[in-house]
Amino acid sequence: MSVRVRFAPSPTGNVHIGNIRAAIFNWLFARHAEGRFLLRVEDTDRERSTPEAIRTLLECMAWLGLDYDEPETYQSRQTARHLALAETLLQRGLAYREAKGGGDECVVFRMPKEGRLEFIDLVKGRMRKQAADTQDFVIVRSNGTPVFHLANVADDIDMKITHVIRGDDHVENTFKHIELFRALGAPVPQYAHLPMIVNQQGKPYSKRDGAAFVGEFRDQGYLPEALFNFLLLLGWAPGDDREVLTREEMVALFTLDRCKSSAARFDLKKLVWMNGEYIRRLPRERFTEEFVRRVEAAGLATDGADLPGIIGQMQVRTKFFREIPDSCAYFFTEAYAFDPQGVEKRLKPAGVPETLEEVAAAYATLPAFTPDAAHAALNALAEARGSGLGALVHPVRVAVSGLTEGPGLFEMLALLGRDRVCARLRTVAARLRDHQL
């Protein structure tokens, strides 16, 4: 029997990372087993399930590369089917009508009253519970609408779902659902319950803890592959020391028995690191394309710049594309901004203007302006002055780039070119004297 799994979110406008992780695990499980991954929109809450919300959901799926193998289905369209099944249950005496609280009658499903209920959870192992500890539950409201449990199980039956992989807040429901499958004469799927994602305090991760929705991560500049990989590592590990995996590796390696059953804390720092890893691994052309787009969007022109050289330095240090205009402006314009703290610390001390001019003079006479030559020249200067190299490196960096950090100074200088470097050093020296900085 071939594997069929589904992701069954209720479209409430935003897709929570806990939810999308369930989608990721389902998708990987299906792809690994060469089975089918389906999407069922549980849109029975008509209030919140707006077309807009559904579109957002579909966008998030596409963004993460979670493609599904059959057209998505909508639970709200199956109401008649759900009610028919409830009717069957009623006729077989497996459910009964009851008027709770004096209102109209609702339909209640009968749970076993004795014995033990149990199932094997593919990640948590054997789960058991005394029947006496369960209760009958409503499957059709007195207003005539089906309740989640009925709708969920009915749709799983109709979609021939073989494995239900979902958050472990559903473990208790599973005892109910299994009885429903049996009562409806359908084969019971296998279950796998995934641990929750929690915050630094160990509480369920929510929007109060920062970005909690897929769309927010996208908007903040995270790459879908990075978020996907990071979320996968929350509760699953390949068994060896690999952490950054290609989609193919994930598919090949993913199995439910390697899933952990304890909650995982969401560690933003590691996600940031992961994002940097994915940016670094981007094909050079793709990084370049995005780089240029960002730079130009900031009103800067890249003509004349040594783009390949700049990219070579910047790709490995970029954690977010949005940082690019600010971190690289000095490569493309003379109107680059100065970091106030850098100016204060590196340019304001007495003697800096003279130092910058000395460096400019030394550089002007160099036969070739290469990183090594620029380095050697500064070394010679430092020695002549009896000062450390740092006394030259820092002011020069800030003068030339406006920043206190960036690529190796001499690589950066070579990339800028002798003319621009010397001009900037002199200009900054003059501005310092005129108190213009």
Q: Binders of RNA among 106-125, rule CB under 7 A?
A: 106, 124-125
Interface region with RNA, contact rule CB under 7 A, candidates 32-40, 85-93, 143-151, 359-367: 143-151
Work out the number of other CB atoms within 10 angstroms of the CB of residue 437.
20
From the CB of 256, what's the least distance to RNA, in Å? 12
Q: Which is nearer to RNA, 5 or 22 (CB)?
A: 22
CB closer to RNA out of 291 and 410: 410
Q: Min. distance of Cβ 54 from RNA in angstroms?
A: 13
To RNA, the closest distance from the beta carbon of 274 in angstroms equals: 8
Which residue is catalytic, options 203, 207, 270, 348? 207
- Output the smallest distance, CB 434 to RNA, in A: 26
User: Which C-beta is closer to RNA: that of 351 or that of 433?
Assistant: 351
State how far the Cα of 313 lies from the Cα of 201, in Å rounded to an integer. 38
Minimum Å distance from CB 49 to RNA?
A: 9
Is residue 92 classed exposed, middle or buried when 0-12, 13-18 and 19+ CB atoms within 10 A define those classes? Answer: exposed
In whole angstroms, give the CA distance from residue 127 to residue 144. Answer: 33
CA distance 37 to 161: 10
What are the DSSP calls for 129-155, one per residue?
A: EEGGG---EEEE-TTSPBPHHHHHHHH
Range 196-235, binding RNA (CB under 7 A): 196, 198, 202-204, 233-235
Position 81 contacts RNA (CB under 7 A): no
| Amino acid at position 24, single letter | I
Q: Is 239 in the site for RNA (CB under 7 A)?
A: yes
Burial of 193 (0-12, 13-18, 19+ CB in 10 A): buried
- Near RNA by CB under 7 A: residue from 52, 84, 103, 246: 103
Q: Tell me the C-alpha distance between 191 and 126, whole Å.
A: 11
Residues 332-391 that bind RNA (CB under 7 A): 375, 387-391
- Say if residue 331 is exposed, middle or buried (CB neighbours under 10 Å; 0-12, 13-18, 19+): buried
Token pair listed for 195: 């641990």
Q: Rule CB under 7 A: choose which of 77, 92, 128, 286 binds RNA.
A: 128
**Cα–Cα distance for residue pair 227/236, rounded to 1 Å:** 14
Number of residues counted as binding RNA (CB under 7 A) = 85
Q: Which of residues 3-42 bind RNA (CB under 7 A)?
A: 10, 42
Q: Which is nearer to RNA, 95 or 233 (CB)?
A: 233
Asked whether position 245 contacts RNA by CB under 7 A, the answer is: no
String marking each residue 386-425 x if it binds RNA according to CB under 7 A: -xxxxx-xx--x-----xxxxxxxxx--------------
Confirm or reject binding of residue 191 to RNA (CB under 7 A): no
On the CB side of 76, how many CA atoms lie within 13 Å of its CA? 13
How far lies 157's CA from each of 87, 164, 188, 386, in Å?
A: 16, 11, 9, 82
Respond yes or no: is residue 270 known to be catalytic.
no
Q: Name 347's bridge partners.
A: none
Name the strand (E) or helix (H) holding 118: strand 116-121
- What is the nearest approach in angstroms of RNA to the Cβ of residue 426? 21
The interface region with RNA, picked from 23-31, 50-58, 136-144, 416-424 by CB under 7 A, is: 136-144
Least distance CB 410 / RNA (angstroms):
5
Q: Which residues are catalytic?
A: 207
